[in-house]
A = this chain, B = another copy of it.
């Protein structure tokens, strides 16, 4: 039995108390755990608030599980042949604790069936189109099992294989992913669940390329995604969020006449933004987005969802015109995804 959450310092964090009562075991204050929590606060220059001592309460007979990412330690109890793990709620605390302390303990009790999952991600195609293409493949297999998830503008293909060993399960996964790849080609951008920005970052790193970004409607989202990857300072040089026309001219060097003749949301302006930021930052690539994310600002001629993306390099500048469905958040995210995907395909 695994619980997550309720190990915090507040009045309503009752997991320890409830579990102790259900098991008929005593709860006591563990001085060494208390010391660890105190030290953690000290390392940030803080004094431990009195009520955090509650997090040092331990169920009699439980093994205390270290939490290097937070103050709440976990507990592991074996009770009448049942393994019970009380884990903290925040994923970044819970996951490593599960992987380092709970999984090994459970594995030693488990049989010889291994389940391995692999996540493929697809960009630039609709869910229905993807399914129409690959259903003839995956419906032939019951192992691995296939699930298709549609998440914002990404399609996730989850393959779950069972085998007597991990290697056996991996072999089954290799076979089906190869068949899926032969059908979908470069539209599959990740084979191990990577994010688009990780894949793009990897390709920029490998090619020793640099990039700069000029954004209008995405408002910094592309820069934020690119720099979310550790080590991105190797290739990400500069980003400009040019929300006003003045800023497009002043900082990115878009000629006022282009804005006047074509409007800020247009192919010539997108291309000028890509070229302008590349020039300013002296990078290999310049990536730009301009569009109408809504809910306001749309017109008959230029409706909400109209987005231009452009990519400039030394040899050429190209653009794409997109009509993106969804609300403001979704249009922004889809625009960022399409722009990153344009760059990814250039780097193949």
Residues of A whose CB lies within 8 Å of any CB of B are 8-12, 44-46, 49-52, 69, 90, 92, 126-129, 131-132, 135, 138-139, 146-148, 150, 213, 215, 218-224, 226-228, 230-233, 236-244, 246-247, 250-251, 280-281, 294-297, 323, 325-330, 332
Contacts and interface: CB of A to CB of B under 8 A. Distances in A.
A253 to B, nearest CB: 12
A280 B251 contact: yes
Contacts of A146: 12
A241 B228 contact: no
Contacts of A246: 237
Contact of A148 (B10, B236, B327): B10
Nearest 4 A/B pairs, CB to CB: A219-B227, A220-B223, A239-B241, A220-B220
A323 B237 contact: no
Contacts of A223: 219-220, 223-224, 241
A191 to B, nearest CB: 20
A221 to B, nearest CB: 5
A92 B325 CA distance: 12
A51 B240 contact: no
Contacts of A52: 128
A12 B224 CA distance: 34
A240 B243 contact: no
Contacts of A138: 11
Contacts of A323: 44-45
A244 B237 contact: yes
Contacts of A329: 228
Majority secondary structure of chain A interface residues (helix, strand, loop or mixed)? mixed
Given A51-B132, A131-B10, A228-B332, A239 B240 contact: yes
Most buried by B among A11, A146, A241: A241
Contacts of A135: 10-11
A303 to B, nearest CB: 10
Contacts of A220: 215, 220-224, 227, 239, 241
A51 B128 contact: yes
Contacts of A237: 243-244, 246-247
A220 B229 CA distance: 13
Contacts of A8: 127, 150
Contacts of A295: 230
A242 B238 contact: yes
B11 A139 contact: yes
B328 A230 contact: yes
24 contacts: A8-B150, A9-B127, A9-B131, A10-B127, A10-B135, A11-B139, A11-B148, A46-B126, A69-B327, A92-B326, A92-B327, A218-B224, A219-B239, A220-B220, A221-B224, A223-B241, A227-B241, A230-B295, A237-B246, A238-B241, A238-B243, A238-B244, A239-B239, A239-B241
Given A8-B127, A219-B239, A251-B251, 12 more contacts: A10-B148, A11-B138, A45-B323, A49-B128, A49-B129, A92-B326, A215-B220, A227-B243, A230-B295, A230-B328, A237-B246, A239-B243
